[in-house]
Structure 1
């Protein structure tokens, strides 16, 4: 069965994290949205606009081979990390434009849209993530994005203190629909820059 690229579901940018326990919260990584697909044509990796970047992500394609499934579509973010262990967008841009394949790439997987001939997009995100967790080995360059415990405010405080870019909150029962949605929300952390006056 040949799979087709699925336009990503995109969180809306909001000022404050949603309240209530019907949300799950994860770190927003600073990278390139990436879809990994496996079908009878092998492994392919696509950008958020559907461009085939398998050649640029050759190391990740190799890792994806190890995922034990006949076919799948995984949604995630390709990142590269700096010495502090934080995702580094500038380093990612130069890694991707280099002639030789980069060995510094990681993929943080956060959703599973298709598995072994089954379209999972009508399942709640909470359930899709559970299956994703089972699917991806705990070691390697492809990692599952962890949902962080606590309220939206507590997670935001933690993410902000850690110097991270922000967070994404998802309604636990949200199904996967391409395009912008308020069922997924991103909240950015703004670093206060000190000004010399």
Structure 2
């Protein structure tokens, strides 16, 4: 199946940007997912376009609870451990599919409007409005703004997170690998071993 929305992909970086124009998000250890709702139909598409809607019912049900009938969200499907940190092994085992939730970090369309040309900070505002009623199963991924990035990365590593993704606040959403999305990984996180 062809995806009408090509995912924006982060470029690997060695250090977190520290300027005022960056937004920093925790890099969660899960599966990248587009949540697409058209009226009463919800589709959850993986990074390669596989339909995982039946696999993750909690996310699909949450998408149907939104007042807005048409939207496309970008996020990470994950299982949170008791410590509040994403547990990739639990996700990958497929034994916890009823617990898989979406940490949404971007919105590509609402209603009939394509939001991809908007700067990131305005898309974030639109995403927060879309999820204002906080449906269980979909959460707005927390983020921090500005020069705090490098310190945030040190803390993320200390508590065992996978790393950070830093995104330029004024850039539009474009498909493919982008230099205005930078991921910096915690070198001691188990995800590094899966990539070798």
State the TM-score, normalized to the length of structure 1: 0.89
Q: How does 1:92-107 map to 2 (within 5 A)?
A: 92-95=91-94, 98=95, 102-107=97-102
Task: Give the 3-state SS of the residue equivalent to 2:155 in structure 1.
Answer: helix
Higher Rg: 1
Query: How well do the aligned residues superpose, as a CA RMSD in angstroms?
Result: 1.8
The correspondence for 2:154, drawn from 157, 166, 171, is: 157
State how far apart, in whole Å, the 1-side matches of 2:39 and 2:85 are. Answer: 35
**Residue 6 to residue 122, structure 1, CA distance change in 2 (3 Å):** same
Partner of 1:29: 28
Residues 61-89 of structure 1 deviation map (CA, whole Å, 9 limit, x = unaligned):
01110011020000000000122221011
State how far apart, in whole Å, the 2-side matches of 1:144 and 1:121 are. Answer: 18
Gaps of 5+ in 2: 191-196
1:60, 1:141 within 8 Å by CA — same for their partners in 2? Answer: yes
Residues 89-117 of structure 1 deviation map (CA, whole Å, 9 limit, x = unaligned):
1110112xx5xx72211110000000000
Gaps of 5+ in 1: none
Task: Give the 3-state SS of the residue equivalent to 1:148 in structure 2.
Answer: strand
State how far apart, in whole Å, the 2-side matches of 1:178 and 1:139 are. Answer: 28
Which structure shows the higher helix fraction? 2
For the pair 1:111 / 2:106, whether they are aligned, the reply is yes
- 1:41: Cα distance to partner? 6.1
1:106, 1:142 within 8 Å by CA — same for their partners in 2? Answer: yes
Q: How does 1:75-94 map to 2 (within 5 A)?
A: 75-94=74-93
The correspondence for 1:140, drawn from 129, 136, 141, is: 136
State the TM-score, normalized to the length of structure 2: 0.89
The alignment of Structure 1 onto Structure 2 pairs a total of residues equal to 186
